[in-house]
Structure formats: C-alpha cells, structure tokens
Chain A
Amino acid sequence: MHWHFPEDLKYTGKHEWVKMTDQNGKKTVLIGITDYAQDKLGKIVFVELPETGREVKPGESLAVIESVKAVSDVFSPVAGSVLEVNEGLFDTPELLNEDPYAAGWIVRLAIADEAEYAGLMSVSEYLTFVRQAEEEV
C-alpha cells in the first residue's frame, strides 16, 4: 500500500485520524482525514467547518468535504465540543490532499470522555481495516 499512516495516531472506520494532545492541562483531540481518505476523495475543493463551541456526539457530522464531483461528511469520532477549526482550509482546501496529518488538520475538540479515544483503532488495526476495504473492491 502506498498510503502513509503515522504510528502515534488513532484511527476510525470512517478513515479519520485522531490525535490526543494536552493543551494547558486540558485534554483535547485533533481530528483529520487519513492519507487513504484524501486519495480516494481526489482533489479537495472545499471544506465546510463547524462553528466553535458546538457540542457534538460521536457519529455526528462535524465537517463536509467536497471534491469536484463528490461530497463526504467527516463524522465526529468522540463526544466533545469544538474548540478550534482549521481556518486555513477555507482558502487552501488542498492542504487536506498535500499534508493530511499536519497542516491539513480539520478540528480540535475538547473531549468529553477519554475512554472513547482509547477505544479507537490503532495503526495496525487500521492497516488491516484498509486492506480489507481494498480487497472488497
């Protein structure tokens, strides 16, 4: 597989990555889409981001990503409230294609329950998951 998946991240079955960070002693998570997801979506042209302060439940649509001829939701992997969104994506949505794990992060959430984070896939689990998805095709 030619996609890159960093070791230190957690992953979801909807092809999102989640990174736990400590911000002034508060646990927050950064969320983005994986290299696999950006490759499948193709060139991304627009990202619709949530308002800060919004409370989200796991599985709720957090952002909408558009390529020229497709629209996909980014679903929140955990419960929490939106602390920050990556405003750079408004003008340069291509960051999601070019640098999905760093400059292309999408939102930062204040996580409500850390156990939810622990329950997400590890990189090896996600690799198996992607392999299976590819075989089905």
Chain B
Amino acid sequence: MKTREPFKWVAVGTIWTWLALFALLPNAMVLVASVLERGQDQFFAFAFTLASYRRLLDPLYLSVLLDSLYLAALTTVLCLLIGYPFAYLLAQAPARRRALLLLLVIIPFWTSSLVRTYAMVILLKTNGLINQMLLGLGWISEPLELLYTTPAVIAGMCYALLPFMILPLYAALEKLDRRLIEAAHDLGAGRVTIFRRVIIPLTLPGIIAGAMLTFLPALGMFYVADLLGGAKTMLVGNLIRDQFLAARDWPFGSAASAMLTGLMALLMWAYYQSSRRANRGALP
C-alpha cells in the first residue's frame, strides 16, 4: 500500500488543482465581481454593492430570465418527446443495429456545435435548402420565414441537446428488465398501463438526468439564439455575454451569471433530494 501513496497523491492532487484553478477560482471571481461596483477605467471598482443584483429584478431582465426558462423548458420537453421513443427503440434494437444507431447519436459530437448551428442557418435561411426544396416541389409560392424566429431557436437547441437527452434515457431503458413488462402483462395490464405504471417509474432517473442535461445547458446556449433567432430572442446566456463583451459591465454580467449558477444548483439540489427519496425504500 505504501508504494501507491505517491501515485494517489499525484492523481488526487492533479484533479484538485485542476478543479481549483479552472472551476472554483473562476466561480469565486464571478461571485466577487458580482458584488463590486462598476469602475470608470477598470472593469470594476473595489467597493461592495448589491446594485447588480437589484438591477436583475428589473422587469426587463426578469422577462429575459422567464423567456429563457420557458425556452429551455420547451426544449427539454421536446427533446424528451423525441428522445424517449428513440431511446426506447434503441434499447430494443438488436445489438448490431443498436451500435449503428448509437453511432448516429454520437456523430454530431464530432463537429463543434457552433459549426452545426451555422449549418442550420444554411438550411433555414430565406434562400436556404428547405425553402428551395419546398419551392421546387411547388408546395409554397414564396419562401417561408424560417430563420430568426423562436421556432428556429427551439429547433436549434433541440438539435444541439437531443443527444444529451437520448443517452441517459437509453442507459435507463437498456437496464429495464423485460421480465417486469411480461409480469405486468401477466397481471392484466395493457400497453398504456404498463408504460405509465412500470416503464416510466423505472426509467424516471434517466428522464430526470436527461432533463437536467438538456435544461441547464439550454439556459446558457447564447450562440444558438444569436445565429438562429437574430437579435429578436434575448436569453440569459446572451445577456451575460453582452454584459462582458459589449456593455463591458462586468459586475452586472457576473451577477446574472451567479444567479444562473444558483438556479442550476437549486435544480440539482431538488433532483438530489427527489432521488434520495426515491431510493430510500431500496436501502437496507
């Protein structure tokens, strides 16, 4: 055991150093910056104030927050509705086809999601592929306004985040014991009842994990709203980005960022609590 001590220290130490430098420190800096005053020449002046947080309560910014929550929630629900049947079929598929389908889910990760969002612009723009195809087929007489709409933003976010929904769902559905479904049939349950009372409760951890992995990034994906929503759709992510890069109001950007982090932490805490409650029965 003694000989392994140095290795253990190096391994754990590296991770801690990494986390401290690139996760803890930046977050601490954001937190500190959020309670400082905006400076004249510098980014901030070293004086304590809660002004930035007070500004967040302005109806203008609150509506940005609510819009973001609404879009993120909608994206999550859509991803769940698309992802669940897909993950179910994936879990049912024979081993070889399953590998292929999983590959299809993962392939988008090989390209930066920024590049993929640009690809969507090409598809959606006024003389883009979709409009040209529909015109060519004679289904429409003039191009549809697809780009720079809220549906385009939602579509873009769904596209970018769908794999994050599918993978945890797949993991949960793959573990689902087929014999439990047979047992439910045997006890007189039809398909709908089985889905509602057996499959959904047993895959709930996957559903929650998928929803978290979709909902939380959806709150901050500013570039999708930028590229596909134009200037029309303002999300929390855009707001933060603008405060840092355009308005140069670092304390306010930090406050918005801290609030978002706090919101996510709250959601994760709620998830932790609910999963603890769900598991309590299973513990000896």
Mutual binders A and B: no
Residues of A within 8 A of B (CB): none
